[in-house]
Structure 1
Amino acid sequence: MIAAAPGRPRSALRRALKALAWLTLALVVGSVIAVALALQGAPRWPAAAEVSVADIARARDFLRRNDPRQPAPGPLRTLVTSEREANLLLGQLARRAAAGATARVALGAGSARVQASLPLPHSAVTAWLNIDATLRETPGLPAVDSLTVGRLPVPGWVATRLLRVLAERARQSTPEGALALSMVRQVRLQPARLEVSYAWGEDSLRRVLGTLLPPDEQARLTAYAQALSGAMQAHAAAGSGSKALPLEQLLTSLFTLASQRSAGGNDPLAENRAALLTLALQATGRQLSDLVPAIQAAPQPQHMPITLSGRDDFAQHFLISAVLALEGGGPLADAIGVYKEVADLRHGSGFSFNDIAADRAGARLGLLARRDPAALQRRLAQGVRASDVMPDVSDLPEFLGAREFRQAYGGVGAPPYRRMLADIERRLDALPLLRPAAP
């Protein structure tokens, strides 16, 4: 019998360790190369065109056509949207996800190309994920045919598995994801047209509203409703004789609470959103229970108008635009403000440039509430005057009829109209609180 050479086990072990070291090095180098290929220093896909007045009209018609509260035959419903409408929605979702993010889709027969530029969060250097994906229609949710992240191509089968993993994670970690995945049955892709078939049951509206405002958000809104109710009771007890409450006083009261709650560990952006939404609901005569029926125990402040510069319409314009700007960015708030004035021009009280000024002032405050939430809380908690958030616009034209507006300003977008908007921006720039930050 021949004995094994004592050096062979050690030699085999050395070879195995060496192979493992090389494999580890290859994986590390491969990962570094993959990251280098995937990340880029600038966004590749530009932002879509700004939201226009016509877009807002289309969005309103879209909501009317697809109102889930309306009765419909059968348990399945179909949401139909044009490519333009889909891109508007994608753009707003991207802006809400991260500053500077963009997204767009091009629809074809049974396919869609989705492109997005997303800034890498919490990065010490400027880095972007530029995503280019081709989706294919299936009997259910779309599948991924191809995916490129930066300069890194990802095989379709890998991307499809990754999409399934992300969908399952969304189902488990977010109520919005779980609700959407439980409702959507099929997505049909057609040239310039997107159709989404979804299940709608008797409790679906309650589930959607509950998802949009989960319990922690409902508790947060309840706290601000209590603060608003207290501020109104104090104003009434002071015996000033005024039946209206100046917005500047409420901004100080509610953002003092926001600053205190943020100092206690809450998210400053979420606190700002709740404060502005509570004020907007009160200014427009709505209640929290109108937004989410589940909030029945929340205090309902007494009916008391909120004014800005002595006018309740200014407060309404200001607060609605602030909420819209905080949620979707300035362009959306601006377009909705102009749409409101165009509608008044045709059917209501006429076009008013001072309403546009209130819209723009509110939009600037809403953007500040998003970009530097804690700093805005501290500033408003110190106390503000009406002139800090709204310039003097008593000399601006208002209540213009359609013919008068066209003769004097040429319509929305004409040079005389743009000059009026530039004058409004100069007045806003003169307010230190609303002045844009230096580049």
Structure 2
Amino acid sequence: MSRPALRRGLRAVAWAALALAVAALLALALAVQRAPRWPGPAEVSAADIARARDFLRRNDPRRQTPGPLRTLVASEREANLVLHQLARRLVPGASAQLVLEAGSAHLQASLPLPHSPIAAWLNIAATLRETPGLPALEDVTVGRLPVPAWVAARLLPRLAERLNATPEGSLALDMVQRVRLKPARLDVVYEWGDDGLQRLLGTVLPPAEQARLTAYAQALTGAIQAHAAAGGGAGLSLARLLPPLFTLASQRSVGGGDAVAENRAALLTLALQSTGRRLSDLVPALRAAPYPRRVTVTLAGRDDFPQHLLISAVLALEGGGPLANAIGVYKETADLRDGSGFSFNDIAADRAGTRLGLLAQRDPRALQARLARGVAESDFMPDVADLPEFLSEREFLATYGGVDAPPYRRMQAEIERRLDALPLLRSP
């Protein structure tokens, strides 16, 4: 090849490389945006929790008619509550929603880009078309960048491969036979075999998580035995149980361990103990796991505060603060109807737990180190002895006007002020 021809060839390659680089940068600029287009619901309401409870009862496979094929029916709102929480669990800060129509659904999702020095989001819009099996994906747009049809056609199989690599995804792909898309309604036809419940429980708590929880049950058993050997009574302060379990969490997080998973296991173990439940209630395969002797876990001399705090902490760590907050408000408003009344000190314990759970996720190792050193109850639970409790529905509405009224919000603000005074739980 002559030298001029070689130069022309190299120039053509250089221009082609430059064109590809410019095209890639243009595609990136079109795909990535500075803000989420679909931020999702600002908060989960107490009414949403009531709706979720009724949804779970309505679709409990153990209570449905016998037969391998079952149909789960969800309204658009119910489907979006589940989808949004799932998106947040898979990608912290993400949101997703569906708009359901006859034979199709419009999926909208906003995903933050991790490790980006600036705010950067992938805003995804897609259409799902009903088929005899799982829906087909089409008309995909990422930001302002349309995705070619042939690329969209290959996305679902790739997504299915990745889902199949996880216990939850594998179970879903095995069980779900068809999805029917209707106006404001979703029907999921699934196969419920004889081993369905066992597989579901095993998915919620896979073997690695079962082993982790067993280790914390052993640590809790040791702490309670030490309490008994020292002549302790039937009650044991939560402040005495947090250090040994979070010492274990800190030890297990060394060397690249999953500190958030360790914190979750520690809090869940304590929550089960506070409610008198055992691990085998969650997973029958753990019948042989240690079961600490029954001892009442207390906080401010009460056995209900640890339950409020710990359950809210687990929910906040797993599903985000809004979910835990809504469940706390839902329980108190339900108590108005059931007769035990509305208690603001219970709300304070819920909020303390929510902050603890969010801290366990946001700064997991720092929390482990702090709790392992030892804590007093006043480090994570404010004084609430003066807060109103056991209010009847008439008293609550007459004094506070409901959960959205200004007097109620002033009480909420007072609770947050007291929590901010606690160094461990102070808002960042």
SS in structure 2 at match of 1:294: helix
- Separation in structure 2 between the aligned mates of residue 130 and residue 155 of structure 1, nearest angstrom: 16
- Equivalent residues of 1:144, 1:156 under 8 A apart: no
From 83, 87, 92, the counterpart of 1:99:
92
- Separation in structure 2 between the aligned mates of residue 21 and residue 297 of structure 1, nearest angstrom: 67
Residue 247 of structure 2 corresponds to residue 256 of structure 1: yes
1:43, CA displacement in angstroms? 1.4
Q: Read off the aligned partner of 2:94 and give its amino acid letter.
A: A
From 342, 360, 369, the counterpart of 1:369:
360
Deviations, residues 219-264 of structure 1 (Å, cap 9, x unaligned): 1111100000000000010003x21111011111111111111124
Unaligned stretches of 5+ residues in structure 2: none
Residue 138 of structure 2 corresponds to residue 145 of structure 1: yes
Deviations, residues 333-368 of structure 1 (Å, cap 9, x unaligned): 111111111111111311111111100110010111
Q: Read off the aligned partner of 1:176 and give its amino acid letter.
A: E
1:223-234 equivalent positions in 2, closer than 5 A: 223-234=215-226
Residue 27 of structure 2 corresponds to residue 34 of structure 1: yes
Aligned twin of 2:420:
429
Q: Read off the aligned partner of 1:199 and give its amino acid letter.
A: E
1:33, CA displacement in angstroms? 2.1
1:155, CA displacement in angstroms? 2.1
Q: Structure 1 residues 165, 11: closer, same or farther in 2, change over 3 A?
A: farther
- Separation in structure 2 between the aligned mates of residue 13 and residue 75 of structure 1, nearest angstrom: 69
From 164, 171, 183, the counterpart of 1:191:
183
**Higher CA-based Rg:** 1
1:40, CA displacement in angstroms? 1.5
Q: Read off the aligned partner of 1:422 and give its amino acid letter.
A: A
Identity in percent: 73
- Equivalent residues of 2:111, 2:122 under 8 A apart: yes
Q: TM-score, normalised by structure 2?
A: 0.96
SS in structure 2 at match of 1:47: coil
- Separation in structure 2 between the aligned mates of residue 404 and residue 27 of structure 1, nearest angstrom: 70
Is the deviation greater in 260-269 or in 58-67? Answer: 260-269
Residue 121 of structure 2 corresponds to residue 128 of structure 1: yes
1:113-124 equivalent positions in 2, closer than 5 A: 113-124=106-117
- Separation in structure 2 between the aligned mates of residue 143 and residue 431 of structure 1, nearest angstrom: 51
Deviations, residues 76-109 of structure 1 (Å, cap 9, x unaligned): 1111111111111122122223332211111111
Aligned twin of 1:3:
none
SS in structure 2 at match of 1:105: strand
1:20-59 equivalent positions in 2, closer than 5 A: 20-59=13-52
SS in structure 2 at match of 1:198: strand
1:16-415 equivalent positions in 2, closer than 5 A: 20-171=13-164, 173-240=165-232, 242-415=233-406
- Separation in structure 1 between the aligned mates of residue 289 and residue 9 of structure 2, nearest angstrom: 67
SS in structure 2 at match of 1:121: coil
- Equivalent residues of 1:144, 1:157 under 8 A apart: no
- Separation in structure 2 between the aligned mates of residue 42 and residue 106 of structure 1, nearest angstrom: 21
Deviations, residues 202-234 of structure 1 (Å, cap 9, x unaligned): 001111111111111111111100000000000
Is the deviation greater in 18-27 or in 133-142? Answer: 18-27
Q: CA RMSD in A?
A: 1.7
- Equivalent residues of 1:280, 1:316 under 8 A apart: yes
SS in structure 1 at match of 2:286: coil
1:391, CA displacement in angstroms? 0.5
1:32, CA displacement in angstroms? 2.5
Tell me the number of residue pairs that the alignment of Structure 1 and Structure 2 aligns: 428
Q: TM-score, normalised by structure 1?
A: 0.93
- Equivalent residues of 1:111, 1:136 under 8 A apart: yes
1:192, CA displacement in angstroms? 0.9
Q: Structure 1 residues 264, 235: closer, same or farther in 2, change over 3 A?
A: farther
- Separation in structure 1 between the aligned mates of residue 64 and residue 337 of structure 2, nearest angstrom: 31
- Equivalent residues of 1:48, 1:104 under 8 A apart: no
- Separation in structure 2 between the aligned mates of residue 35 and residue 356 of structure 1, nearest angstrom: 46
1:122, CA displacement in angstroms? 2.6
Deviations, residues 274-310 of structure 1 (Å, cap 9, x unaligned): 0011111111111111111111221111111111111
- Separation in structure 2 between the aligned mates of residue 52 and residue 26 of structure 1, nearest angstrom: 51
Unaligned stretches of 5+ residues in structure 1: 1-6
Is the deviation greater in 344-353 or in 314-323? Answer: 344-353
